[in-house]
Amino acid sequence: MKITSLTIASGLGPLLMVLAAPLVTGFIRKLKASLQNRPGAPVTQPYRDLLKFFNKEETVSETSSWVLRAVPYAVFGGTLAACMLVPVVTQNPAIGFAGDLIVLAYLLVLPRIFMALGGLDCGSAFGGMGSAREMMVSSIAEPALILALLTPAVAAKSTQAGEIVRAISANGWQSLSPGWALAFAALFLVALAECARVPVDNPATHLELTMIHEAMILEHSGKSLAVLEWGSWLKLTLFLTLLANMFFPYGLASEADAGSLIVSLALYAVKVGFLCIVIALVESSMAKLRLFRVPDFLGAAFALALLGLLAQGLVRIGL
């Protein structure tokens, strides 16, 4: 493979996501604070938290095994690998030839399984509860994610992110079909569920009866907690990037000149920022659902994704 400035620019995408992930979270927190008339912490607070956690001593439960220690690294590594397959500022993902959107969805299984195992490893009922709930939520969210991602794939006749981006960009606004809209809505719901946001989970709670994600990371501390939190923020950034770039790929750089890269980067920031605002609005205006209402929410995501794919498939054969 020839190394061009374009491949380098694409390759820096995941790095950008890793570095920006705490910022995205900080931005949502700041927005929520202002919506609730609080000054809130500065947007850079997550970076400071990471720094603090990294320099703290780690405590590990005596009942746990190597699995618990491995969790943060599996979560971060698996999510990072998934980030390699999505375009960020250029039309190509970092390492697109290694896999497609199906691979991306399945790469997220590694973090999930390890999170669930880690939740069980300490023997505390909280961890088990979080783990059981997480697997319930994700066992429906994952198929919805796959179906939602396949809708643009069927439209673009390829499952590779780069090809999809090029096809949608080339077709201009004609790509906006009913199937596209349904799939976007489904993916947004999945993003809320997968990234532990209201109304499925509450990232700001430590009330044991309602939490899912927080229950699983309860036993982590110090550096483990830092890596784990960073991985979770990265996952949120990944989902926002998917929403932004797989459905609105307009303006992504196809050449590696400074001008188009800057435009593309600015557009990316605007798109992700807009999605952050939507999430902050949703989180401030809705209550968390009761746990057994969550399957209805996920069922809606699944049904939307199914309808989206059906609509796209039928459009394709010209019905």
Partner 1 sequence: MELIFSAWAIFLAGAAVSLFNGKISAFAKLCAATGSLLSVAGAVSTYFNGNWGSFAMPGPIPGMGISVLLQSLGAFFTVLCGLAGFACSVYSLGLREEGSGRLYFCFNLLLLSLSGITVSGNAFTFLMFWELMTISSFFMVLHDYHNEDTRHSAYVYMVMSQLSAALIMLVFAGFYRATGSMEFSVWGAKSVQYSLAFKNVIFLLSLLGFGIKAGLVPVHIWLPLAHSAAPAQVSGLMSGVMIKMGIYGFLLVIFSFLGQGPAWWGAVVLAAGAVTAVTGVLFAVQENDLKRLLAYSTVENAGIIFLGIGAGSLLNAYGYTLLSIAALSAALFHCLNHSMFKSLLFLSAGAVVHSCGTRSMEKMGGLIKKMPFTAAFFIVGTLAITAVPPLNGFFSEWMTFHALLSLFSIHSAWATLGGLLAVAALALTGGLAAACFAKAAGITFLAMPRSEEAVHAHEASGFEVSAMAMLALGCVAASACGMQIFDLIHESLKYGTRAFFVIAGPDAPLPIPHGNMSIEALWLIVLGSLLCAAAMLMLGKRQVRVVPTWACGMKELTPRMEYSSTAYTKGLRMVFSFMFRPTRRKVSDLSVSEYFPRNITYTTSFRNLVTEKLYAPLSSLALRGSETARRLQSGSVNVYLGYLLAALAVLISILIAGQK
Q: Using CB under 8 A, which residues numbered 164 to 223 contact partner 1?
A: 219, 222-223
Q: Which DSSP string do the residues of 243-304 spell out, in sequence order?
A: HHHHH--TT-BSS--HHHHHHHHHHHHHHHHHHHHHHHHHHHH-PPPPGGGHHHHHHHHHHH
Whether 89 contacts 13, CB under 8 Å: yes
Chosen residue from 8, 19, 67, 266 binding partner 1 by CB under 8 A? 67
Distance CA 172, CA 87 (A): 18
Q: Does 41 bind partner 1 (CB under 8 A)?
A: no
Chosen residue from 54, 266, 270, 290 binding partner 1 by CB under 8 A? 54
Q: Using CB under 8 A as the criterion, what x/- string covers residues 278-297 for binding partner 1?
A: -------------xx--x--
CB of 236 to partner 1, least distance (A): 17
User: Burial, 236: exposed, middle or buried (Cβ in 10 Å; 0-12, 13-18, 19+)?
Assistant: buried
Q: Does 263 bind partner 1 (CB under 8 A)?
A: no
Chosen residue from 7, 45, 158, 169 binding partner 1 by CB under 8 A? 158
Q: Using CB under 8 A as the criterion, what x/- string covers residues 81-100 for binding partner 1?
A: x--x----------x-xxxx
Which residue lies nearer to partner 1 by CB, 84 or 276?
A: 84
Q: Does 309 bind partner 1 (CB under 8 A)?
A: yes
Which residue lies nearer to partner 1 by CB, 57 or 258?
A: 57
Nearest to residue 133, comparing CAs of 215, 197, 205, 232? Answer: 215
Cα dist from 200 to 91, 170, 197, 287, whole Å:
32, 36, 6, 9
**Cβ atoms within 10 Å, residue 71:** 28
Chosen residue from 26, 231, 249, 251 binding partner 1 by CB under 8 A? 231
Chosen residue from 80, 198, 272, 301 binding partner 1 by CB under 8 A? 80
